[in-house]
Amino acid sequence: MKKYLMTPGPTAVPERVLLSQAAQIIHHRTGAYREILGEVIKDLKYVFQTKNDVFILGSSGTGAMEAAVVNLMQRGEKALVVKGGKFGERFGEICEAYGVEIEAMDVEWGDAVSPYEIQKALARDNDIGVVFVTLCETSTGVVNDVASIGRIVKETKAVLVVDAISALGSVEIKTDEWGLDVVVAGSQKGLMIPPGLAFISVNEKAWAKIKANVKENTCLPSYYLNLTKTRESFLKTDHPFTPPVSLVLALKESLAMIKEEGLERVLARHRLLAEAMRAGIKALGLQIYAKSPSDSVTSVKVPASVDGLALVKKMSEEYGITIAGGQGKLKGKIFRIAHMGYADRFDVIIALSSLEMVLKKMGAKVKLGAAVKAAEEILI
Amino acid sequence: MKKYLMTPGPTAVPERVLLSQAAQIIHHRTGAYREILGEVIKDLKYVFQTKNDVFILGSSGTGAMEAAVVNLMQRGEKALVVKGGKFGERFGEICEAYGVEIEAMDVEWGDAVSPYEIQKALARDNDIGVVFVTLCETSTGVVNDVASIGRIVKETKAVLVVDAISALGSVEIKTDEWGLDVVVAGSQKGLMIPPGLAFISVNEKAWAKIKANVKENTCLPSYYLNLTKTRESFLKTDHPFTPPVSLVLALKESLAMIKEEGLERVLARHRLLAEAMRAGIKALGLQIYAKSPSDSVTSVKVPASVDGLALVKKMSEEYGITIAGGQGKLKGKIFRIAHMGYADRFDVIIALSSLEMVLKKMGAKVKLGAAVKAAEEILI
């Protein structure tokens, strides 16, 4: 049975990227590697839409989230954490692990955060040093209005940290235009490479805060994730620690693909696929879970008559399609289909086709072909 | 020009391991992946020679060193750090980043630490909670007598942490027999896979300390590198965060190669290659830098008449051989040739042959063929 990976990370890796990893390792402290690293950083800035520093970390996306917390927060300061799903909550967990006081902005799962609420919170509490928000909340399929949040936070002394892990390369993120001080991302999502690399962009406002923390010795402790040390190395087109070389080679290849297609067309493709997916879902009489749905992943409420866990299992075992179920309190209640990174029209068709068949087999009232038809009307 | 990677990490990766990375990504929360992870952990325990927990971290080896520090040390406690090179010093730097008081045992670079000195330090100072020592100090080419150190620390309340990054899979390490409480390792050395994974083994004595730290709330802060959280996931054959899947697939393949050859034969091969390399070096009238040389990497004093930096450069540019120069205060004073991981007899011959030619060209008094002859007498 052919296998199709349609989870919101890790995502499918294009063949030419897979093969690029099979090149023999080159030492990272050679001219040959430095040339690759320089090119990769330049291309990452293109995807981040930024002139800011962009660094590569050898970790999962969570490592970059932690890097943002430990470098930006100072002891005794407060963090405003937008919690509207598992990954927003993770920022809170990291802060708590370091003893940082947080003001939690609890958003109903499935809803986007109101930028106005962030504005009010910042006006109310002058101790907030950093705002942590998720662009695409993978666990709920919600996209937040980070452009507006950027405009708001820019007017304050607070620094804005955006988790764009499930967004970069698939959902618009204008780092500089929107005034996003720090943006974190991961490799195994829109960037179409295997997991193992994380990325973080840092602008001048954020550096000013980090430098003040260092100067006043109010930093949280860090070593592997220390951005000051990381910056020193990247200024010399180097890494502070041995980097995952084969993944950097893969990244070079995937960034070449993104440049060939053009970032605008990449993002337009994601919008089209997401629209087709949502039309298909609705044509089956199902409901999109996210009120403000992301173009990288579609979250769908499991119909009352169907066992959500069994649905995900059947998709995989009987049709070879790996999708994701719900996490945490959404377990069994939603399923999530990604159309992120190396995804094209027929991936949407495949996902909807298998969904129709599985739902039918599970006794749901669906008309075979209805979702595919609705999607085709958009994809034509 | 053919290229040969002979640095003490990253090391050359076997073709079948390189190709194993080119398989399509599988999701890490599937039965198919869990089966691979279970097998990989079992095989890692074979190489670590342990029944202890062994975890995989998505980081460089430094991440695992930091994990050892932040999970084992408690606030107000002292660390005994053996500093005899760059990587011993790194343990000290990590401790300092977290505000841990250290007692530094400064060993002359090139020398091994005296286990007796460790015994005396522990007897003298009852506040020492953890001893940090490097098995093979990559920067100097020294191997420390960790077996004896293990016996000594076992008799105390202190926990022993061993950096085996440049050792595991190439130099004997009997984790359980020697009573090594925590052992950290990396992927891009003896394990023959690209950089990006780190490993850490933890025994009952170390767990008792970690649990006491957690209970008494005297832990240093951590999230990505938190071993308690990591253990919870690995008990379910899972990772706490998205793992570098393609590198785990590579690891599966490299561990299969180690099992096929047999660990004893792998280690015997390293001993033989190291012996041949040292014989070749001496036959050229050069001096081995390390007084207690490791079988994974040979460090050599640059002859007085030769420019050490130019030597390394010429090896690379004129013969395609990447070796390593000296680091820190040894810059230009030594060069290091690795015979670690995917290395066999003719890698030693190639290294010595190119060294003979480069030295000759640089005006050193060497007899072409002399080193190769000496090595052949051992390799025959």
Per-run averaged pLDDT (10 residues), chain B, 380 residues: 95 97 94 97 98 98 98 92 97 96 97 98 96 97 98 98 97 98 97 98 98 92 98 98 98 98 98 98 98 98 96 97 95 98 97 98 96 98
Integer Cα distance of A70 and B378 in angstroms: 53
| Partner B, chain A 160-199, Cβ-Cβ below 8 Å | 186, 188, 194-196
Nearest by CB to A195, from B63, B220, B244: name it: B244
CATH 3.90.1150.10 location in chain A: 262-379
pLDDT at A76: 79
| Partner B, chain A 6-65, Cβ-Cβ below 8 Å | 7, 9-13, 18-19, 21-28, 30, 58-63
Integer Cα distance of B99 and B80 in angstroms: 14
Integer Cα distance of B331 and A74 in angstroms: 37
Non-local (6+) Cβ contacts of B28 within 8 A are: A10, A195, B37, B238, B239, B242, B243, B245
Least Cα separation, residue A148 to chain B (angstroms)? 30
* CATH 3.90.1150.10 fits domain B263-379: yes
Residue A60 to residue B18, Cβ atoms within 8 A: no
The CATH number of the domain covering residues in A262-379: 3.90.1150.10
Least Cα separation, residue B222 to chain A (angstroms)? 6
Nearest by CB to B195, from A3, A5, A244: name it: A244
Residue A97 to residue B222, Cβ atoms within 8 A: yes
Q: Which residues of A touch B94 (CB under 8 A)?
A: 223
pLDDT at A219: 87
* Interchain contact B222–A (C-beta under 8 A): yes
pLDDT at B136: 98
Least Cα separation, residue B298 to chain A (angstroms)? 18
Does the predicted TM-score (pTM) go above 0.95? yes
Least Cα separation, residue A177 to chain B (angstroms)? 31
Q: Which residues of B touch A68 (CB under 8 A)?
A: none
Residue A244 to residue B194, Cβ atoms within 8 A: yes
- On whether the CB atoms of residues B221 and A221 are closer than 8 A, the answer is yes
Q: Positive or negative, the Cα torsion across B142, B148, B150, B154?
A: negative
* Domain A15-259, CATH class in plain words: alpha beta
* Nearest residue of B to residue A29, measured between CA atoms: B324
- The identity of residue B26, as a single letter, is I
Q: The tokens of A172 are what?
A: 């618009």
* Interchain contact A213–B (C-beta under 8 A): no
**Count of beta carbons in the 10 Å neighbourhood of residue B231:** 16
Give the ipTM of the model, two decimals please: 0.95
Q: Mean pLDDT of successive 10-residue segments in chain A (380 residues)?
A: 95 97 94 97 98 98 98 92 96 96 97 98 96 97 98 98 97 98 97 98 98 92 98 98 98 98 98 98 98 98 96 97 95 98 97 98 96 98
Integer Cα distance of A257 and A235 in angstroms: 26
Q: Among A360, A350, A301, A293, which Cα is nearest to A325's? A: A301
CATH 3.40.640.10 location in chain A: 15-259
pLDDT at B76: 80
Nearest by CB to A195, from B13, B97, B242: name it: B242
Q: Which residues of A touch B228 (CB under 8 A)?
A: none
- On whether the CB atoms of residues B310 and B362 are closer than 8 A, the answer is yes
Q: Among A70, A127, A59, A134, which Cα is nearest to A96's? A: A70
* Interchain contact A92–B (C-beta under 8 A): no
* Nearest residue of A to residue B99, measured between CA atoms: A221
Least Cα separation, residue A21 to chain B (angstroms)? 6
Residue B224 to residue A223, Cβ atoms within 8 A: no
How many percent of chain A have pLDDT more than 90? Answer: 98
Residue A188 to residue B242, Cβ atoms within 8 A: yes
Non-local (6+) Cβ contacts of B353 within 8 A are: B371, B372
Least Cα separation, residue B241 to chain A (angstroms)? 7
CATH 3.90.1150.10 location in chain B: 263-379
How many percent of chain A have pLDDT more than 70? Answer: 100
Q: What is the pLDDT of residues A106-145, one digit of tens each?
A: 999 999 999 999 999 999 999 999 999 999 999 999 999 9
Q: Which residues of A touch B98 (CB under 8 A)?
A: 221, 223
**Count of beta carbons in the 10 Å neighbourhood of residue B99:** 11
- On whether the CB atoms of residues A167 and A177 are closer than 8 A, the answer is no
* Interchain contact B325–A (C-beta under 8 A): no
Residue B18 to residue A21, Cβ atoms within 8 A: yes
Q: Among A85, A68, A104, A74, which Cα is nearest to A203's? A: A68
Least Cα separation, residue B60 to chain A (angstroms)? 6
Non-local (6+) Cβ contacts of B159 within 8 A are: B72, B129, B130, B131, B153, B181, B182, B205, B206, B209
* Interchain contact B328–A (C-beta under 8 A): no
* Interchain contact A97–B (C-beta under 8 A): yes
Residue A223 to residue B13, Cβ atoms within 8 A: no
* Nearest residue of B to residue A221, measured between CA atoms: B98
Q: Which residues of B touch A2 (CB under 8 A)?
A: none
* Interchain contact B233–A (C-beta under 8 A): no
Q: Which residues of A touch B222 (CB under 8 A)?
A: 97
pLDDT at A359: 97
Helices (H), chain B: 15-20, 31-48, 61-72, 86-97, 115-124, 146-154, 204-216, 227-235, 245-261, 263-283, 308-319, 345-361, 370-379
Least Cα separation, residue A293 to chain B (angstroms)? 23
- Give CA B168 to chain center in angstroms: 6
| Partner B, chain A 115-144, Cβ-Cβ below 8 Å | none
Helices A31-48 and A245-261 cross at an angle (nearest 10°) of 50
Residue A244 to residue B62, Cβ atoms within 8 A: no
Total beta-carbon pairs less than 8 A apart between chain A and chain B: 184
Residue A245 to residue B23, Cβ atoms within 8 A: no
Integer Cα distance of A332 and B251 in angstroms: 34
Q: The tokens of A113 are what?
A: 């955060």
Residue B58 to residue A61, Cβ atoms within 8 A: no
Q: Which residues of A touch B224 (CB under 8 A)?
A: 59-60, 62-63, 66, 225
